[in-house]
Amino acid sequence: MLDRPAMPRDAPSDELRARARRIGEILDHYFAQPPVPLDHVNAFELLVAVMLSAQTTDRAVNLVTPALFAKAPNPVAMAAMPVARIRTLIRTIGLAPTKAKHLRATAALLVERHAGQVPADADALEALPGVGHKTASVVLSQAFGIPAFAVDTHIHRLAARWRLSDGSNVRTTERDLEALFPAQDWGRRHLQMIYFGRAHCPARGHDPARCPICAWAADNAGAGQAASAAATKPSPRTRRR
């Protein structure tokens, strides 16, 4: 069994629960039914798309997956495809050589261990090449409806900015968010935070006073200083997940 995040020793304070509840209401107002940003029609396609999305954009992934899935629509077909061919089909996204190897190896293990099906089990998913905890959480939540709060670097940043977690590490953030929001909301909150961050709460050039959440939930002094510092620095290319 893989280690799971430890539950918090102390329950969240009433003040913290109230902040989370208000944030949830705002997220519901702006993004009531957020779609999964990665195009897919089944659990296998979602797993592949999330694996491909590491350090690249959802848009870039959605541009390459139609051709990839046309050639390899299931684990059997993917496992039979040479790594070089997979790499050619995904060559425009970041880390394509490594991802091609992981895709073929994962497909082969799905055939060997799981009868060609994506397992609805966190430990089984995380045992696959190129599948980390966040990827497994996304697949469990979005493909199988199993409560899991997938925390990527963007959600980790927002949780710290909104004072929902101390920002010490991603696993702590996951634990804190799961303690603050009902389990049935975890999948929706994950997507809502992604969309809200893009639209209203970016990492750089952010004005906390104009953000519907940061304006009252953030440590505005620190947020303002961070925004000012970011504005004076050149903006490197942003890589997602």
Residue range(s) occupied by CATH 1.10.340.30 in the chain: 43-144
> What is d(CA 140, CA 174) in angstroms, rounded to the nearest whole number?
15
Selected catalytic residue, list 14, 121, 123, 134: 134
What pLDDT is attached to residue 69? Answer: 98
| Residue owning tokens 């493909």 | 143
Residue 130 neighbours by CB under 8 Å, 6+ apart: 51, 98, 99, 102, 103, 105, 106
> What is d(CA 48, CA 118) in angstroms, rounded to the nearest whole number?
10
What pLDDT is attached to residue 193? Answer: 98
Residue 236 neighbours by CB under 8 Å, 6+ apart: none
Residue type, 13: S
Residue type, 76: V
Say whether pLDDT at 10 is over 80.
Answer: no
The superfamily in CATH containing domain 43-144 is Hypothetical protein; domain 2 (1.10.340.30)
Mean pLDDT of 32-56: 96
Annotation: CATH topology of 14-33+151-231:
Endonuclease Iii, domain 2 (1.10.1670)
pLDDT tens column, 88-132: 999 999 999 999 999 999 999 999 999 999 999 999 999 999 999
Say whether pLDDT at 240 is over 80.
Answer: no
> What is d(CA 68, CA 93) in angstroms, rounded to the nearest whole number?
13
Residue range(s) occupied by CATH 1.10.1670.10 in the chain: 14-33+151-231
Selected catalytic residue, list 39, 152, 207, 219: 152
Q: Is 58 a residue of the active site? A: no
pLDDT tens column, 61-91: 999 999 999 999 999 999 999 999 999 999 9
Question: Per-residue confidence at 220, pLDDT binned at 50, 70, 90?
Answer: low
The terminus-to-terminus CA distance of the chain in angstroms comes to 25
Q: Is 123 a residue of the active site? A: no
Burial class (CB in 10 A: 0-12, 13-18, 19+), 218: buried
Please report the DSSP string for the chain in residue order. Answer: ----PPPPSSPPPHHHHHHHHHHHHHHHHH-SSPPPSS--SSHHHHHHHHHHTTTS-HHHHHHHHHHHHHH--SHHHHHHS-HHHHHHHTTTSTTHHHHHHHHHHHHHHHHHHHTTS--S-HHHHHTSTT--HHHHHHHHHHHH--------HHHHHHHHHTTSS--S-HHHHHHHHHHHS-GGGHHHHHHHHHHHHHHH--SSS--GGGSTTHHHHS-HHHHHHHHHHHHTS--PPP---
